[in-house]
Amino acid sequence: MAIRIIVNEPDEVLHQVAKEVKKITPNVQKLLTDMADTMYDAEGVGLAAPQIGILKRVIVVDVGDEHGLIELINPEIVSSEGEQFGPEGCLSIPGYRGDVRRAMQVTVKGLDRNGKEVTYTGTELLARAFQHEIDHLNGVLYTDIAERVYEITPEGEEKE
């Protein structure tokens, strides 16, 4: 278990496409554990490996619902429906938020830490988190697709 340093925009690693994980090794499993520790320490709801400088297709998500911690290797969205529009933030872009349009529900599949194929369907915040983290694996930040980006004060208010 280790807390990793979160890479901030404009670091180039955030704009690159992550590579598929071909084999699940103890190092990949340690990466998942470290990513979860890092996400919880930073009080986030998701983290993608590029956010800690590692170009591998690995994400962790925990939005505080019944699913708990979700670890996905080589995740992909297999279906989406509906639409939601709302604020989004990112651990790699501290102090800012953006208004982003996303699917309301997505189904994702990938591998768990043991190489077993898993599928999750999420709505609202979980759907947003899946889309946000998978975007990271493709070098896309929410600021690339936001309709509006704004600064947030330490108190959580929009800054003029």
Tell me the binding residues for Fe cation: 90, 132, 136
Q: Among the options 20, 43, 88, 133, which is catalytic? A: 133
Q: According to DSSP H, which parts of 10-138 are helical?
A: 26-41, 124-137
DSSP 43: T
Count CB-CB contacts under 10 A for residue 1.
8
Q: Residue 123 carries which side chain, given as an amino acid letter?
A: T
Q: Mapping DSSP to helix (H, G, I), strand (E, B) and coil, where does residue 35 land?
A: helix
The token pair that represents 109 in the structure block: 């599949």
Let me know if 20 is a catalytic residue.
no
Binding site, by residue number, is 90, 132, 136
Residues catalogued as catalytic: 133
